[in-house]
């Protein structure tokens, strides 16, 4: 995401547009949800996902689904998400059909029955469906579905939607049903899986909207995905965005040398960005973290880094009537660093409270990430 002023509104206009609509995303790391951090962040929405095939289906050595792991469903602890008080919950059902090469199930097969039964048991266990506000059927299916399985994915997605709606009625639940989450949708216009999910979103009357993930490599493209959904795909239903970032832009420059900035700040000029971030992580573990100002100074010194990029996404969301956006809230301080190489996605830079990079504050929560925090905080006013 290159330096750009296009798409930036004033913070005041963004405050009005997104009041009470920014939330926290924890992906699969539901166990990391910290109510004290949520309270500090003053968010209204919290999102997580669960990998249904990986956790709840039994699969033999040949990749054949052989049953439902009832014990795993019963013992799965989703309470850090669903027991939150005073928050609205988004739960995504990740359908990882590349897990052990199981593939999307054939229609009316036993494998399909096992998957539907697993989802039904998961949602009804502990009355889970009563504790969520939005249920997203799928999580990046274009990456999680084998090539050639688009039609089978479409069939099982529609059946899960029907099951979810039937349960909602019979159990007196009240969640909305979304499809998704589509990633890089504007770049994958000819992708059969993307086309299938868009078709379901438009044609299935039980679907309330679609979830997008927007991880762009140029800030000028921040608007492309929601604009495509509205203007090209002609979807008039609700849009939410449960992930967004410039992680692909960071990845583009991961192997760049620190150069003059490195020399001026006590590092070898030929040290790569990813190598420096490995060092920074270790310093946080050693309780000698770099100051947030140093992190900000490095990125501000780079011509490719787009200042206030977070606001550009919010502007796009307002323009395309994206009703909810959740963002990575917390990168916890680990015992060991996440060792990066030249090709590693730099997810560690994303989080609002970033203990893994900047260490913890006196309360034990991650220090505020200057790349994100000011705009994140302003968006909630």
Residue written as token pair 């420096």 = 276
Same domain for 349 and 238: no
Query: How far is the C-alpha of 234 from the C-alpha of 197, rounded, in Å?
Result: 13
Tell me, yes or no, whether 4 lies in a domain: no
Tokens of 59: 């699969």
Short-list 149, 160, 88, 61, CA closest to 120 = 160
CB 42 within 8 A of CB 380: yes
Res 380: pLDDT:
79
Q: Note the pTM of the prediction, 2 decimals.
A: 0.92
Same domain for 291 and 192: no
Tokens of 300: 């501000």
pLDDT at 96 over 60: yes
Domain around 338: 254-303+331-381
Query: How far is the C-alpha of 297 from the C-alpha of 192, rounded, in Å?
Result: 43
Q: CA geometry: angle at 327 spanning 205 and 237, to 5°? A: 15
Phi first, then psi, for residue 181 (nearest 5°) are: -85, 130
Res 245: pLDDT:
98
Same domain for 224 and 274: no
Positive or negative CA dihedral for 202, 205, 206, 209?
Answer: positive
pLDDT tens, residue by residue, 35-76: 999 999 999 999 999 999 999 999 999 999 999 999 999 999
Same domain for 215 and 90: yes
Query: Parallel, antiparallel, or unpaired: how do β-strands 57-59 and 65-68 relate?
Result: antiparallel
Res 273: pLDDT:
98
Tell me, yes or no, whether 102 lies in a domain: yes
DSSP string spanning 353-373?
A: EEHHHH-B-TTSSBPB-TTTH
Query: How far is the C-alpha of 118 from the C-alpha of 163, rounded, in Å?
Result: 11
Tokens of 231: 């203007």
CATH of the domain at 217: 3.20.20.80
Same domain for 294 and 166: no
pLDDT at 2 over 80: no
pLDDT at 5 over 70: no
Same domain for 116 and 66: yes
CB 183 within 8 A of CB 143: yes
Residues in the chain: 381
Tell me, yes or no, whether 105 lies in a domain: yes
Tell me, yes or no, whether 42 lies in a domain: yes
Q: CA geometry: angle at 116 spanning 111 and 122, to 5°? A: 125
Tell me, yes or no, whether 25 lies in a domain: yes
DSSP string spanning 310-354?
A: HHHHHHHHHHTTEEEEEEE-EEPPPSS-----TT---GGG--SEE
Same domain for 222 and 169: yes
Same domain for 309 and 291: no
Q: How many domains does the chain have?
A: 2
Rounded to the nearest integer, the mean pLDDT of the chain is 94
Tell me, yes or no, whether 294 lies in a domain: yes
Res 21: pLDDT:
87
Q: Which residues pair with 51 in a beta bridge?
A: 94
Same domain for 295 and 310: no
Tokens of 317: 């969301």
Tell me, yes or no, whether 335 lies in a domain: yes
Short-list 248, 247, 151, CA closest to 199 = 151
Same domain for 132 and 39: yes
Same domain for 152 and 134: yes
Tell me, yes or no, whether 138 lies in a domain: yes
Alpha helices in 292-343 (DSSP H): 292-300, 309-319
Same domain for 261 and 141: no
CB 78 within 8 A of CB 57: no
Q: Give the rounded percent of residues in the chain with a pLDDT score beyond 70.
A: 95
């Amino acid at each position: 995401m290159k330096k750009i002023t296009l798409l930036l509104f004033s913070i005041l206009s963004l405050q009005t547009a997104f009041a009470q609509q920014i939330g926290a995303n924890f992906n699969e790391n539901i166990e990391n949800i910290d109510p004290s951090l949520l309270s500090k962040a003053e968010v209204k929405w919290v999102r997580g996902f669960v990998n249904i095939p990986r956790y709840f289906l039994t699969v033999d050595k040949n990749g054949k689904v052989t049953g439902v792991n009832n014990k795993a469903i019963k013992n799965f602890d989703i309470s850090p998400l669903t027991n939150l008080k005073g928050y609205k919950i988004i739960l995504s059902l990740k359908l990882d059909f590349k897990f052990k090469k199981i593939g999307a199930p054939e229609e009316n097969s036993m494998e399909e029955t096992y998957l539907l039964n697993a989802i039904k048991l998961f949602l009804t266990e502990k009355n889970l469906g009563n504790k969520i506000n939005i249920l997203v059927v799928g999580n990046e299916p274009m990456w999680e579905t084998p090539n050639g399985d688009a039609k089978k994915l479409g069939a099982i997605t529609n059946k899960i939607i029907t099951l979810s709606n039937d349960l909602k009625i019979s159990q007196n639940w009240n969640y909305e049903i979304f499809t998704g989450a589509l990633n890089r949708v504007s770049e994958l216009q000819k992708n059969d899986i993307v086309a299938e999910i868009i078709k379901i979103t438009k044609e299935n009357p039980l679907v309330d909207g679609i979830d997008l993930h927007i991880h762009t490599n140029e800030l000028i493209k921040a608007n492309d995905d929601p604009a495509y959904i509205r203007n090209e795909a002609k979807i008039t239903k609700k849009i939410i965005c449960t992930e967004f970032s410039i992680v692909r832009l960071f990845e583009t420059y991961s192997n760049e040398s620190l150069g003059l900035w490195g020399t001026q700040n006590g590092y070898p000029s030929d040290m790569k960005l990813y190598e420096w971030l490995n060092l920074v992580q270790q310093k946080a573990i050693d309780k000698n973290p770099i100051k947030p100002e140093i992190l900000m100074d490095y990125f501000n010194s780079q011509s490719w880094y787009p200042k206030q990029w977070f606001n550009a996404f919010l502007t796009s969301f307002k323009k395309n009537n994206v009703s909810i956006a959740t963002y990575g809230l917390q990168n916890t301080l680990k015992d060991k660093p996440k060792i990066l190489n030249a090709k590693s996605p730099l997810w560690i830079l994303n989080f609002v409270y970033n203990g893994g990079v900047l260490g913890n504050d006196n309360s034990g929560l991650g220090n505020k990430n200057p790349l994100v925090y000011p705009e994140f905080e302003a968006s909630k006013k």
